[in-house]
Chain A
Amino acid sequence: MKGILGKKVGMTQIFDERGEAIPVTVIEAGPCWVTQVKTVERDGYSAVQLGFEEAKLTRLTRGQLGHLGLLKVDEAHPRRRMLENPVPPLRYLREFRVKPEEVPSEGEQITVDVFEVGDRVDVVGTSKGRGFAGVIKRHNFRRQPKTHGQSDRERAPGSIGATTTPGRVWKGTRMAGRMGGRRVTAQNLEVVLVDPERNLLAVRGAVPGPRGGLVMVKRARKQG
């Protein structure tokens, strides 16, 4: 399967063989473990749950430990979950949709070498939270004049609708509000570098989220 979890490390640039500078985002990706396989027969769809970043045993709840097959199975608890291959305690779990023929087995390890240089990938992350943002930052509205008798209106949104007809504000009118902090996908990024030794992946361009943020890297949905 082509998919992995990682942490955004930061951006830098790399020069290609033609001497062209490529802006890249470095991602520390994997190693990940397959913590659960979902099948069409049992779950109605085919997917793989990956776990990333080893954590201290005490950082996980009993529920999480049980799910990862880390609680002892004995006479008192015969139905506890066990994976084919044991996995370490993992901090993050995320699900990837995978075609049934590509599904790995539970407990299997996934590393960056599932990707190669030149692959096209989508990177999913949580964008930086901007808090309650005004209409200029949030919807790229234009500023009003600073002069000509204006005061206190530079960053105001202006009119938000007509008068008696329709007598209300249209649904979906762009206004100030919470911005960022939601799931964002950067599509069709080129893999520029794969370093299996240090679990590093570099993709061309920017990736959503802060440095240190969790990202999912998977095969691009729309290639080309």
Chain B
Amino acid sequence: MNLVESLNRQLERNPNIPDLQPGDTVRVHARIVEGDRERVQVFQGTVIRVRGGGAGANFTVRRIAAHGIGVERTFPLYSPRVEKVEVTRRAKVRRARLYFLRQRRGKAARLKEKRTR
């Protein structure tokens, strides 16, 4: 283990973020800093990828905004600016990166729910 790794390991992963999987539908409560004001914004959508990489680890959430425009936002897993992440649904997916969702719209962009015992 090199020293950067050990330094990364010592950094704390944001405890308010549960383990995420691609295909999860989530509500991300992100703290937005505007000058010296702070507010919390909720971003709801599907997790289309989770990337590792120590302190730089992040995940990307895709949602369909008004007029069917796709919006993707990436949140760092170690950032204290993520207030809370709620997982509302887990889908059954067969790949780690769900980029194919970008080509689909409406009904075609649905994912099958994962069945849990």
Residues in chain A within 8 A of chain B (CB atoms) = 9-15, 18-19, 21, 26, 28, 198, 200, 202
Contact = CB atoms under 8 A, between A and B. Distances in A.
Given A198-B3, A200-B3, A200-B7, A12 B56 contact: yes
B33 A12 contact: no
Interface in B1-26: 2-4, 6-8, 11
B81 A19 contact: yes
A14 B54 CA distance: 10
Interface residues of B, number: 17
A12 B2 CA distance: 12
A9 to B, nearest CB: 5
Q: Which 4 A-B pairs have the closest CB atoms?
A: A19-B81, A10-B4, A9-B3, A19-B80
A18 B32 CA distance: 11
Contacts of B2: 9-10
11 contacts: A9-B4, A12-B4, A12-B8, A12-B55, A14-B55, A15-B11, A15-B55, A15-B79, A19-B31, A19-B80, A198-B3
A107 B24 CA distance: 60
Contacts of B4: 9-12, 26
B14 to A, nearest CB: 9
Contact of A21 (B8, B33, B54, B79): B79
Given A12-B56, A13-B56, A26 B7 contact: yes
Nearest to A28: B3
Given A9-B3, A10-B3, A12-B4, 5 more contacts: A12-B56, A13-B55, A13-B78, A15-B11, A200-B7
Contacts of A198: 3, 6
Interface string B69-81: 0000000101111
B55 A19 contact: no
Contacts of A19: 31, 33, 79-81
B11 A14 contact: yes
A10 to B, nearest CB: 4
Contacts of A10: 2-4
A15 B54 contact: no
A11 B80 CA distance: 20
